[in-house]
Chain A
Amino acid sequence: MLDTIPARRHSRRARPFALALVALIGLSPALAPRAQAAEATLVIARDMDITSLDPARAFCDTCQIVLSATYERLVDLGPDNRTIVPLLAESWEVNADQTVFTFKLDERARFADGGQVTSADVAWSLERLKHLKGNPSFLMDGVAAVETPDARTVVIRTTAPNSELLGILAAPYAAVVNRAVAEANGAKAGEGADAADQADGWFLANSAGSGPFTLAAYAPDDEVRLARNAGYWRDAAPVAQVVIKQVKDSVTQAQMLQSGAADIAMQIDADTAAGVTDPNVVIEPTASFNFVYVALGAGADGMPISMTRPVREAIGLALDYEGIIDLTVAGKGRRIAAPIPNGFPGTEGLPLPARDLDRAKALLAEAGIGGRVTLEAVYPSVNIYGVDFDILMQKVQQDLGDVGLDLALQPVTFPVWRERITATGIPVTAVYYAPDYFGSGQYVQFFGTQEGSPWYKRSHVAKAPDAVNPRIPDLLAAALAAPAEKVDEAFAAIAREMIADRIILPVVSPDLTLAYRKGVKGVRYSACCNLPLAEISVE
């Protein structure tokens, strides 16, 4: 390995050598990078969105990968993306009304520093998650108490039945942190931790978990380096080192795969993937749990028409879903019925949206909307999950133009979009969503227009009373209390409500392109953790 070259020995011979090299620049065809034979280093090219690596503060797709490799939770989500499997807890029991969850910790479980994982660590970590008032703190909503009857037993009590708690506990943010190490570096867990905790910076450079890797180095906007946890308490990870390299665009990710500079890329868009013909690169499109949606701000300021339910339905019918999928992801995506990802509880058998121009025009005519109407369409100008929002919104503009609705497109940065939608609402916009844990409840809480929900506020319902759906809270409580065999049915009922509300119009669930070099084994897409690094090996 390069690192082992003694630093001093070559320095004297270096200068003339260097001059010769400078002279050779531009003449030598050998300057392109060659695949290095570095032992078992896995390189992932990725556009990263990390703002924190503190499990109780972080909240991003890349964070899921890094946190699930460096920390462990009580339970994990199995490879089928449905079943909950043991991780730190070797077994668990749930009471009949799903309010008391008792976990037995695996006796062998050890942190990277050798200390045993105890119930105190678990309770402290979950307390901290709740009290930091960070992005993932909502995962602990409804958790009434975390009790530790003995060093190996954890009892979690919830205020109401919660059939999704195990899925929530499998989320990377519910990581169990080595309490002693974290506290020594400024971490606090109790009430007031949101102000008192000073460990954010420390977690950017260190990890304190029991996972198969440890955080070796993080340089923002550049790279994350993970090193194999030599004393891992289960089977050690096959690769010694993982480097996640910041690579913004899809094309460069593809290039790096082809040149051998990277082993894995997960953000190659469909058009670029079609251009990759290298036999050494495996391209594997997979259905994803991500989706992109158009949202109607029914009561937004500056809305020139009364955006009632039939008008919203007309807009939904005017969209050319197949065309959108063709244009944005070159056909590599799926239609999606409700704002709950395909494959999550309650989505099977829902009616998929389709274009019906005649019906759309008739609905608009009935609503008394004739001639041409201009609607403001402010949206974040991002390129995510392979979807370029500029392209998407230009297509939506053309589709709605066919029924007399002209969109005035205004791509903005995310901070501007957030201010607009919170302060005044936005008549027509587009956003994206990826799962935070396995379970449909998060979608109902977020996309449902029950009082107080995010999209209730963003719809500015004062001017659009029919956008509110008062039935959702009861339906959600019922779904969370439902026994396992009834969960799908209960969530399907809520999904149909959200479809009828037509505040959120999901347009495409883009396929995820798993792209990797031949010889890389064990690459899979996980609903909780994105890319489980410990399962990957390099031949």
Chain B
Amino acid sequence: MTRYLLRRLIAMPLLMLGVATATFLLSHITKADPLAAIVSERQMNNPEIVAAAKARWGLDRSLPEQYAVYISNLVQGDLGVSFRTRRPVADDIGARLPATLELVVFAMIFGVTAGIGLGVAAAHWRDGWIDHGARLVALIGSSMPVFWTGLILLYVFSVVLGVFPGPGRIDARVAPPPGVTGFYTLDALIAGDMERLRLALAHLVLPAFVLGWAVMGIISRLVRGSMLDVMEQDYIRTARAKGAGEGRVLFAHALRNALIPTLTIIGHSFAYLITGAVLTETIFAWPGIGAYAVDSARSLDHPAIIGVTLVGAAAFLIANLVTDIAYALANPRIEIGRADG
């Protein structure tokens, strides 16, 4: 186990290097003008302006040189300066990551609590209409195109009913709460600012729901399955025979056992949510890294594209690693790393 962990940890920087190299190549073999965010359309055929811009941004060097410069900066923790925002990519990502994480955490909270509730209900009333309904809700969650769900929810709840605010993290008129964590909800709490907390929460409801629905589906199916497994087992029968109430059987015994596999799936869902946020952020004008990725890709902002991909890959790899460890700890019988090349 320790050896396996060590191997995974050593492999991580190498994988990141692979990701950086692959992204560098992908974004440079694109037949596109990397100066799009730097030189305007009016000046793009002006050799003097183009040459000055290329020299300033290091694009006049050969591709291997550019790669060497990028990687050596990267090793020193420098992600470069964005062509589009003209700020260090690390700063840009640092400013946007909390927005994405806050959305993901709330989506997760919703997905896990609703998923467990739905799963328990489905297991308890197995093959009844609640079970079938739960299955339908769960499957719809993973079948909905989030970019359509988002539109419908905005139309119904924001435009027609006016129950929830429109896109964005907080009202335009209101300045964000003083930044400590970058989570508007937490920052508002720290500042004791109830009005901002209310606004931040209200803005979170729809996007977190859209993003969390798929997770709710996965978790409810998982909880249902493992609870049914456990409920067949002898010690539950014994507990029942001893006259334990149904509620006690469900929650104290069956659910507790179902939680182990649930915990591991949460890790995988976290990675899914980070990337699922790309589309949700686009619909809800959420200033997170997903929207940043799309904008950077559209303007061929090389440093930003590679930076955001690296951060995404790191989040993805870490979430998967943590999940595997949790899984191994929960199931000591599983010999991990065997089928892993």
Contact = CB atoms under 8 A, between A and B. Distances in A.
Q: Are A and B genuine complex partners?
A: yes
Contact of B174 (A2, A414, A419): A2
B174 A32 contact: no
11 contacts: A18-B194, A21-B198, A31-B198, A31-B201, A32-B202, A51-B38, A59-B42, A219-B95, A221-B292, A245-B172, A418-B44
B299 A10 contact: no
Interface string B1-33: 000000000000000000000000000001111
Contact of B49 (A134, A200, A414): A134
A10 B52 contact: no
B196 A25 contact: no
Interface in B214-246: none
Contact of B43 (A138, A243, A458): A138
B199 A415 contact: no
A43 B46 CA distance: 37
Interface residues of A, number: 73
Interface in B153-196: 158-159, 162-168, 171-175, 178, 189-196
Interface in A15-70: 15, 17-18, 21-22, 25-26, 29, 31-33, 35-36, 38, 41, 43, 45, 51-52, 59
Contacts of A248: 285
Nearest to B151: A251
Nearest to A37: B173
A418 B33 contact: yes
Contacts of A11: 189-192
B85 interface: yes
Contacts of A12: 192
B202 A31 contact: yes
A274 interface: no
A457 to B, nearest CB: 5
Interface string A194-212: 1100001100100000000
Contacts of A422: 33, 44-45
Interface of B: 30-46, 48-49, 52-53, 55-56, 83-87, 92, 95-96, 158-159, 162-168, 171-175, 178, 189-199, 201-202, 205, 285, 287, 291-292, 295, 297-300
A134 B52 CA distance: 8
A391 B185 CA distance: 41
Contact of A446 (B42, B171, B175): B42
A298 to B, nearest CB: 16
Interface in A451-508: 454, 457-458
A327 B87 CA distance: 40
Interface in A197-256: 200-201, 204, 219-223, 225, 243, 245-248, 252, 255-256
A334 to B, nearest CB: 23
A137 B43 CA distance: 9
Given A33-B171, A135-B49, A416 B86 contact: no
What are the nearest 4 A-B pairs in CB distance? A10-B192, A415-B32, A133-B52, A415-B300
Given A9-B192, A11-B190, A2 B172 contact: no
Given A135-B49, A255-B166, A419-B31, A204 B87 contact: yes
Contact of B86 (A15, A29, A31, A52): A52
Interface string A415-458: 11011101100000001000010000000001000000010011
A133 B172 contact: no
Nearest to B284: A252
A303 interface: no
A454 B189 contact: no
